[in-house]
Amino acid sequence: MILGPDPRCQTRDHDRASIPCMTSWPEDFAVRYEEWSAQMTEDIPFYVQLAREADGPLVELAVGNGRVAVPVALATGRTIVGIDTSPAMLEQARASAARSGAQLDLREGDMRDFELEVPAALVYCPFRALLHLPTWADRRRTFERVAASLRPGGRFAWNAFAFDHARAAELDGRRAAEPVPHSVRYAVADNRIDITLKNGATSSLWWATKNEWLGLVDVAGLEVEALYGGFDRRPLDDDSREYLFVARRPGV
């Protein structure tokens, strides 16, 4: 799921001025999202397994078109609470759930401010969606909301790429035809990548280091249960290009 700023939506923070809220893709991206994400399937078994192990409510942040939530719901026979700020993406998720028979409780909202009626056993955020929160404050706020929404022993899982300088140099400024026509621009000083479609619509993401993720886990009062370097749960090493974190709220 890709998130980017939507200038129409504002949120308040006591420590800083109002900033745009996060939307999945900008609305003019949403029509191409199914094509963009079609080849991404290897993460689904990873999140399905975590959901099967969870004894309690299941929540997906940045649910998008339901690419992950629908198979998780079908595999577990349970309802997935899906949170996203994009009406267009949520409409796609509703349609996908209706076609498949999956039970999704879809809610329009910002991951930095979400609240649950019942604490969750698992909150997960697939497809590097946390990278679309632009600042440390945004991510800290999200992690704190997750921690407050988990039951003791509940898990928070997400994946994000490990920044590859060589790959960035190769892709910077390049136009590509697949999965949909787009170009990529790296703003290194801002840790930002801009993805621009042929029609000019742009979505951005901001990369983070392993230590930044570990710091967020710590300040939110969570504990790292596992850190993998691939969806097959291989150990993270110097050659890994993906972080897969599973954190846990302390308690029984």
Q: Does 67 fall in a domain?
A: yes
Return the C-alpha torsion angle 246, 102, 76, 37, nearest 10: -40
Question: What per-residue confidence (pLDDT) applies to 33?
Answer: 67
Per-residue model confidence (pLDDT) at position 36: 61
- CATH number of the CATH domain containing 142: 3.40.50.150
* Measured distance CA(203)–CA(193) in Å, rounded: 8
Comparing C-alpha atoms, which of 64, 1, 51 is closest to residue 203? Answer: 1
Average pLDDT for the chain: 87
In a domain, 183, yes or no: no
- The answer to whether residue 144 scores a pLDDT higher than 80 is yes
Residue 45 lies in a domain: yes
How far, in Å, CA of 77 to CA of 94, rounded?
17
Q: What percent of the chain has pLDDT over 90?
A: 74
Q: Quick check: is 33 in a domain?
A: yes
**Locate tokens 């800290």: which residue?**
140
What is the C-alpha end-to-end distance of the chain, expressed in Å? 32
Report pLDDT digits (tens) over 231-244.
999 999 999 999 99
Q: What is the 3-state secondary structure (H, E, C) of 195-247?
A: EEECCCCEEEEECCCHHHHHHHHHHCCCEEEEEECCCCCCECCCCCCEEEEEE
Into how many domains does the chain fold? 1
Q: Model-level pTM? A: 0.88
Where in the sequence is the domain holding 125, given as residue range(s)?
4-163+208-248
